[in-house]
A and B are shown apart, each in its own frame.
Chain A
Amino acid sequence: MRTKRSIFEDIDWVMVVTYAALVLFGWISIYAATYDETHPSIFDLAKNHGKQALWIGLASIIAITILFFDHRFFETFAYLIYGGAMLLLLAVLVFGTEIKGAQSWFVIGSISFQPSEIAKFGTALALAKYLSSEGKRFDQFKTKMYALGIIFFPAALIMLQPDVGSTLVFAALLIVLYRQGLSGWIFGLGFIAASLFIIALYLKQYEWTLFEQVVQGKMAFIVGLTLLAGLILYLLRKRKGSRLVVGGGYAISLGYFLSVNWLFDNLLQPHHQNRINELLGIVSDPLGAGYNVHQSKIAIGSGGFSGKGFLQGTQTKFHFVPEQSTDFIFCTVGEEWGFIGSFIVISLFLFLLGRIIWNAENQRSAFTRIYGYSVASILFIHFAINIGMAIGLAPVIGIPLPFFSYGGSSLWSFTLLLFTYIKLDSERKFVLR
């Protein structure tokens, strides 16, 4: 067995450089978004960009500190970290501070942090440890249930805050379970469920008059679904058991379809209902529920191919776009750097995600691999929802763009998440299979 000469040996520098590129691009975007001619210094601590400089400095310390840790620390203390995070999630429900309608923050003096950030890290570690431990076989029902439980528990606690965005992040960990052997049907089912959901909401607004009878959109769909089921039954009439499968599928689809409207109206909060309706184009209210996205699209769209130039954006700088240094930071990229800038940012993310996955598959340690998948999944869902909402493809859910958005707590937790993986990865040659 070899011994390492330096903790920096075997580090995936490409990944570190990609990380640094995203963080720096994010920083100058925050600078552009909050730029003030009277305080032009990028280190002005009265401004978000000045504070971000400080947060980046602290993030570097966190990154280096992680590299000094013994790599076994994370695996050893995985459950402990997970447990601690769960306690914090419980505690925040009691002692936390409510900001923007969600009780998800601990505020101590001038420092505030969200335990859900730690929970993501803890859950990734716990999931990796559980699924990589001796004798756990994923094809066993019990293993699947435990794994789902590890994910579900923090998600449920966060839902109680309620913080829909962070809850949704945990759903991304299904990607990890899929890699471990969860049936691909789960995505198929998810796709069908989402489609039915959207169709049901769409059809609610339509009704036609046919043979002097008012036909609601809902009825038309039920008739169509019934005919489709009949057709499939007819085509598969010679295969045994097809009746049961088709009949069951039909019943479940119908029941789900009929309950969507009820679920939508009763489970979702009005502002979420509005945002979904706005996203699907069922209602259009650019001054109300759709204001953020409308402004965001204007900012990004007005950037054109090559952008307006650094500090030349009018939409972000003059506060037309709300939350322009946090949730809508991508607008600044789109407006000032245009399609070229957007392309670079998206490519950087895709490259980082791809590299983590590719890299993870080369690990001897199952723990490292599963943890790597968790990190990629969490980063991916933030990326997908954040940019998706900025360009009107996802509902407005306030979650930050990793490494980019302003905010110490989110920058540190993403750094922690990624550098723990970089650390584990750097030890790949010293791990016995």
Chain B
Amino acid sequence: MNNLESRKIFVITLFAVVALIFLGRLFVIQVLDDSYSSSADNQALRFVTQYPSRGIVYDRHGKILVQNQAAFDLMVVPRQIAGIDTEAFCLLLDIDTVEFNRRLDKAKEYSNYRASIFQKQLTADEYAKIAERLYRFSGFYGQKRSLRIYPDSVAAHVLGYIGEVSGKDMEEDSVYKSGDFIGISGLERQYEKVLRGDRGREVLMVDVHNTVQGRYREGELDIPAHAGTNLITGLDLDLQHYGERLMQNKKGSIVAIEPGTGEVLCLISSPTYDPNLLVGVKRASNYQLLVQNDSLDPLFNRALMAKYPPGSIFKIVQALIALDERVINESTAIACNKALVGCHNHPSAQNLREAIQMSCNPYFHQVFKRMINRGTTSNYFEDSSIGLEAWEKRVKKFGLGNRLGLDLPSLKSGSIPDVALYDGIYGTRRWAFSTIYSVSIGQGEVEVVPIQMANLAAIIANRGYYVDPHIVKELDGQRDSSLHYETHSTEIDAAFFEPVIDAMQRVVDRPGGTARRARIDSIIVCGKTGTAENPHGEDHSVFIAFAPRENPQIAIAVYVENAGFGGTWAAPIASLMIERYIRGSISDSLKEARVLEANLLNVIKDED
């Protein structure tokens, strides 16, 4: 029997071996391998992203330009779908089973365990109908999002729009996840990092039926969301709205700036569109409509991107530089010699004021020539080259030919011709003043965008300097909230502005002025018309102005494509805007009615 007694050793060893195998296995799965922990977290914890509300954009008087409305994404976790009544569900969402399966397959392709969007951006009302029955459909839940809403449907081009992030966006900034929104254009894009806020995270515990069982560790790992910063802009909602109305059925743009601060009061590109069209689920289809089916290209922001020849308004720049360069003085008289360059019928200008008032082309042909050919060298070509180089530098001080410091994307710089440009076209020393003279009256290679014209008006109003035009003046609720924008000097003696401004007042006030339609009885408006030659059709109508003459409150540029002479359409539109802004009402209702009723789009159709 002794022999058999020792068998207890074998039996106990057997027990011990099994226990050791268990402990070894447990050590592996509990201590060495952490994949089980993450699996556990994946299935028992739901990380709910808390989307902060996007910053609101206000106008200068605190009126809302853009705000948010609640929307819901219907999310699905394919693995958690169990025994749901598919047909009832489809009925609820108004889709068929084919579509249901297609979406589910797509979600499964992404992940069986993670949530993907089943239906995007249901409105609060739509979601409310579904939400009360959602408990019957395990695997589905609503995730709150917010959509933009534009209460007055204005300033689409300034505000821009948001859309889903692209693969590139996600690569560049890991904050973004598929399905998130990002600013794509306008202020939404420029101030994306400010507007978006900081997203939060809530960690919830869910049971096997995907029912929320409470906060994980009493919310210890939760991160609260911080709402985006609100933007306070210098825009005047009323003026913006009014300008958009005036520009209905016209192609072109209006930009108004408060001269002293550089705050943009309104920025209109016409035709515009209702920004509410580019919100939420309808965005993609509406975008297609706006891009493809509209030959007027409403998404194109003319105020920043359309390069036009400035036409006669450029004469103001020429006059100021010429005065400062002492090649003329305010009494310089030059005969209207139509042999040099075409002009309309008017008596010869006896001084600079008359030349500007009557917009005499030959006068400025000669002014420009005096700047270009200074006789620094006997070589005529060399001399032109030296003259142009000096001139170009001075012109660029007016914010022309350079991108302005505006806080909006896609701003074009326009162009001011320089030596390199002409050397490139004609060859070095193969060109001279006679080659480039059309620049003297703002034609030829000179190109500006409308906001540069408005900025030019602001420079004159300020008698020689400008602050970078900008839309946003303040970030709401932030310490040191006012943004700093740079002041630039044109380096032209302030005294030289007075004769020019005199002339600009005459343009509006005097019987011989080119912009009689811009006159407002109670306000002194100083302006300059332009009529930019358009080889493709009717000339473009241009007008820049500021008012009142002393302590100017508004500087404005109006550009109406294919509308002919600058005094006909651009000038009255500018005056209506000025009066609306300064007085809040319009004294000349006939003028207003004429503009509102005008349809200048037909002009193109005749052309085509």
Residues of A within 8 A of B (CB): 37, 175, 178-181, 184, 287, 297-305, 314-315, 317-320, 334-335, 338-339, 342-343, 346-347, 349-350, 353-354, 357-358, 360-361, 373, 376, 380, 383-384, 387-388, 391-393
Which residues of the other chain, A, contact B36 by a CB distance below 8 angstroms? 297-298, 300-302
Q: Do residues B205 and A318 form an inter-chain contact, with CB atoms below 8 A? A: yes
Which residues of the other chain, B, contact A178 by a CB distance below 8 angstroms? 7, 10-11
List 9 other contacts, CB 8 Å, given A179-B4, A297-B29, A391-B22: A300-B30, A301-B29, A301-B37, A320-B207, A334-B30, A339-B27, A357-B12, A360-B8, A361-B8
Asked if A301 meets B8 with Cβ closer than 8 Å, knowing A391-B22, A391-B25, A391-B29, the reply is: no
Q: Which residue of A lies closest to B205 (CB)?
A: A314
Q: Do residues A300 and B12 form an inter-chain contact, with CB atoms below 8 A? A: no
The answer for the CA separation of A64 and B208 in the assembled complex, in Å, is 42
Smallest distance from the beta carbon of A391 to chain B beta carbons, Å?
5
Within 8 A of A (CB), among B160-185: none
Which residues of the other chain, A, contact B19 by a CB distance below 8 angstroms? 346-347, 349-350
Q: Do residues A334 and B26 form an inter-chain contact, with CB atoms below 8 A? A: yes
CB of B45 closer than 8 Å to a CB of A: yes
Q: Which residue of B lies closest to A179 (CB)?
A: B7
Smallest distance from the beta carbon of A236 to chain B beta carbons, Å?
27
Q: Which of A287, A301, A373 contacts B33 (CB 8 A)?
A: A301
CB of B206 closer than 8 Å to a CB of A: yes
The answer for the CA separation of A393 and B330 in the assembled complex, in Å, is 103
Q: Which of B8, B10, B26 contacts A339 (CB 8 A)?
A: B26
Q: Which residue of A lies closest to B36 (CB)?
A: A301
Smallest distance from the beta carbon of B208 to chain A beta carbons, Å?
4
The answer for the CA separation of A308 and B7 in the assembled complex, in Å, is 41
Which residues of the other chain, A, contact B22 by a CB distance below 8 angstroms? 342, 346, 387-388, 391, 393
CB of B31 closer than 8 Å to a CB of A: yes
The answer for the CA separation of A320 and B209 in the assembled complex, in Å, is 9
Asked if A318 meets B208 with Cβ closer than 8 Å, knowing A179-B8, A300-B36, A388-B22, the reply is: yes
Which residues of the other chain, A, contact B37 by a CB distance below 8 angstroms? 301-302, 304
Q: Do residues B31 and A299 form an inter-chain contact, with CB atoms below 8 A? A: no
Which residues of the other chain, B, contact A392 by a CB distance below 8 angstroms? 25
Smallest distance from the beta carbon of B503 to chain A beta carbons, Å?
81
| A interface, over-half SS | helix
Smallest distance from the beta carbon of B35 to chain A beta carbons, Å?
7
The answer for the CA separation of A302 and B42 in the assembled complex, in Å, is 11
CB of B48 closer than 8 Å to a CB of A: no
21 A-B pairs within 8 Å (CB atoms) are namely A179-B4, A180-B4, A298-B43, A301-B36, A301-B39, A302-B37, A314-B45, A317-B207, A318-B206, A319-B208, A320-B44, A339-B27, A342-B26, A342-B30, A357-B12, A358-B8, A358-B12, A376-B15, A384-B18, A392-B25, A393-B25
Which residues of the other chain, B, contact A303 by a CB distance below 8 angstroms? 30
CB of B40 closer than 8 Å to a CB of A: yes
CB of B5 closer than 8 Å to a CB of A: yes
Q: Do residues A301 and B205 form an inter-chain contact, with CB atoms below 8 A? A: no
Smallest distance from the beta carbon of A356 to chain B beta carbons, Å?
10
Within 8 A of A (CB), among B22-59: 22-23, 25-27, 29-31, 33-37, 39-41, 43-45
Q: Which of A180, A287, A304 contacts B30 (CB 8 A)?
A: A304
Which residues of the other chain, B, contact A349 by a CB distance below 8 angstroms? 19
Smallest distance from the beta carbon of B456 to chain A beta carbons, Å?
67
Q: Do residues A302 and B7 form an inter-chain contact, with CB atoms below 8 A? A: no
CB of B21 closer than 8 Å to a CB of A: yes
Q: Do residues A353 and B15 form an inter-chain contact, with CB atoms below 8 A? A: yes
Asked if A301 meets B44 with Cβ closer than 8 Å, knowing A179-B11, A318-B207, the reply is: no
The answer for the CA separation of A318 and B213 in the assembled complex, in Å, is 8
The answer for the CA separation of A384 and B79 in the assembled complex, in Å, is 33
Smallest distance from the beta carbon of B505 to chain A beta carbons, Å?
79
